[in-house]
Amino acid sequence: MKKYLIALVPVTLLAVMGLRSTSHSAEKNLTVAYKFSEDDLKPTETQKKVEELVTQILTNYHYRRVPLNDSLSSKILDNYIKELDGNKMNFTKQDIQDFEQFRYSLDDQLQKGDLTAAYQIYNIYRKRAKERFTFVNQLLAKPMNFNVDEVYTPDREKAEWASNKQELDEIWRKAIKSTLLDWKISGKADTSAVKDLKERYSRSEKYFDKTKSEDVFQQYMNSFTESIDPHTNYMIPKAAAQFNQEMAQSFEGIGATLRLDGDYVTIIELITGGPAYRSKALKPKDRIVAVAQGENGAFTDIVGWMTDDAVKLIKGPKNTIVRLKILSGDAAVGSVPKEVRLVREKIKLEDGSAKKDILEFTNNGRSYKLGLITLPVFYRDFEGSRKGEGDFKSTSADVKKFLTELKAEKVDGVILDLRNNGGGSLVEAVSLTGLFIPQGPVVQRKHADGEISAEYDRDPSVTYDGPLGVLVNRFSASASEIFAGAIQDYKRGIVVGEQTYGKGTVQTLVDLGRFLKGEPDNVGQLKITMEKFYRITGSSTQHKGVTPDIQLPSGFSAEEYGESSQPSALPWDMIATSKYTPSADVNEQIVSSLNKKYQEHLKSETDLKKLVADFDYWKKAKERKTISLKEDKRRKEIEEQKKRNSQDLAEELADVEKPETKTEVKTDSVSIAQAKQKAAKERREKDAYLKETERLLTDYIFLAPSNGIKITQNKK
């Protein structure tokens, strides 16, 4: 996760503090006997200065204060090799053995501004890749036999490195054969398939040749920064400019941040409120394998494309249609890509305001009226706040208005939906909590220097003190975790859903040009972790996130998604507890009773049983590591998966996307509003997590009738 779930705070500390070099006890030979050839990519003098500067900043001011030593050097080497060749398709075992000479010297080279090892490794990788392109062309000149009973293992991350070139040739032969077989089964003619695959690798080779020295530098520096912390990154000037543009401007497209990961253009982040976000059909780590324009346009294969070129196909004028073939990040081996249809829109980063709905629900023989507030992000107009505008837009102001309206409509309880809410304004997380509790601490912050402070709700009034349910999932993070954790700690409501993401850190953006003035080249930016969040109980939100009171089935494992999936993630720990007074709304007995109710629902409710069955199916499918390269067997594998997709996922995705088509046909505001309202209702009816939260909240109201809504506590 490079740009996903980021909280940024203004940088002031580094601008006034001097930088010092770290001492190192072990003196090593820093000279690498390597001469760059004319065709090699080489580091610039400016890059060497940036390397040394970044090293000083990280070793002196990063929250973790990781010592720059042999242990870190070893991690950097492993990270860099994985970043270059994570699926072990280019390097041989001998190459890896040759790189061992750098295992315990990269730390010293970083301090000295020495980039020789970084570029030597990359240039060897470049040479090996060109050898692979040559081999592919030779292989595609020969016919393939699809009647041989053999298998292919696409995921080689945990495999051994190929012993020699011949073993690597065999791995590539099977990889190419697998692609050709899938295309053959899909109906593509053999000659067309060979032609398209030749073009794919020819295009990849051209992109490879366009790689610049600055691209290698960024890749190596991030192998260093991410050895310390997954949210600390170095951005070359081009990447920094793009990052700043995305933070400040709007653009037309599907609303997704993309990055090249291996051969695939991969979704890193969904922009809140955009078409991709609202479709519910895409998520981080999904890979885009093909793009088509309009309802009937032919798909263009983009595997091996550079991100910038892929984006040109995906972006486009608003109200136009783009169709994507998506290979899910958690897809089983040999999965068939699904098609997702989106209507491009004008995307603004401030989109995604809170929304209010009324839900009618029957449980325990009684009808309930529930308020639903969906919060995609914690937003705040900082400029309006700074100017003292009384009506500046903010999360807490919008939600307060909704709560007042819901009380007037005499709802029996409120659900706050924080699913896929990646965070945002810390101020708003604190203010939102204050709408549900009397004054008190909401979150603690520990700074890089060890100082601990707390953020308080200082308003004694309570906007809403009735039954409350907070719905979270694996992608609820940062500010969402602060709010959900505070509600849970104050025992103010029940938290339902999946374990949250576990991002409990704050990043500062540093313009390196402030330290390296007069350089002929721009030097980029550094995003560095300098704070950590803690709940008022003293428990960190880092790594573990928030564990719901009632934990629903999940298709996302902690090993693959969330902070705990990052090897260099800062650990969970505890500090002292803040002084706070919990309410009596929720207790252990109530939570225990609700979990028993949930176990009963698992046995009786069709939507939950289907959800569990689907997760069990995909879990078993993912355990399969190989796919057949024999045509008749592979056809059976694909047909089985297509049948499952058509039964489960395709219908849901089609229903989600229908409203987009209607808004194109009827463009008046009333028709659009009605279509969106109808679509939202249809989605809620199919939303197993929301339906179960409705059941549990009404069970909670039934079990604790004294918690009925009170509307008197609005005064200061």
Which residues are marked as active site? 478, 489, 503
- Is the CB of residue 5 less than 8 Å from the CB of residue 545? no
Contact 507, 6 (CB under 8 A): yes
Residue 172 makes CB contacts below 8 A (sequence gap 6+) with: 89, 132, 135, 136, 139
Q: Which residues contact 624 (CB under 8 A, 6 or more apart)?
A: 332, 333, 334
Report which DSSP code applies to 152: E
Beta bridge partners of 321: 343
DSSP 112: H
Strand pairing partners for 234? 526
Q: Does residue 459 sit in helix, strand or coil?
A: coil
Question: Beta 627-628 vs 151-152: how paired, if at all?
Answer: antiparallel
* H helix intervals, 523-630: 588-604, 606-623
| The token pair that represents 99 in the structure block | 């790189």
Tokens of 400: 């307060």
**What tokens appear for 167 in the block?**
């073993």
Query: Got the DSSP string for 340-397?
Result: EEEE-EEE-TT----EEEEEEEEETTEEEEEEEEE-SSB-B-HHHHHTT-TT--BHHH
Element (H, E) at 47: helix 45-61
Q: Other C-beta atoms within 10 Å of 144: how many?
A: 18
85: three-class secondary structure by DSSP: helix
**256 φ, ψ to 5°?**
-145, 140
> Tokens representing 244?
């700043």
With b for 16 or more beta-carbon neighbours within 10 A and e for fewer, the 303-321 pattern comes to bbbbbeebbebbbeeeeeb
SS (HEC) of 489-548: HCCCCEEEECCCCCCCEEEEEEEHHHCCCCCCCCCCEEEEEEEEEECCCCEECCCCCCCC
Beta carbons of 136 and 176 less than 8 angstroms apart: yes
**Rg of the chain, C-alpha, whole Å:** 27
Distance CA 71, CA 75 (A): 7
Intra-chain end-to-end CA distance of the chain, in Å: 43
Gap between the Cα atoms of 632 and 634, Å rounded: 6
Instruction: Say which residues have a Cβ less than 8 Å from residue 189's Cβ, sequence separation at least 6.
Output: none
Backbone angles phi, psi at 424, to 5 degrees: 135, -130
Handedness of CA 517, 520, 522, 526 (dihedral sign): negative
The Cα–Cα gap between 253 and 256 comes to 8
Cβ proximity of 265 and 258 under 8 Å: yes
- Order of all β-strands in the sheet with 366-374: 355-363, 366-374, 413-417, 468-472, 494-497, 550-551
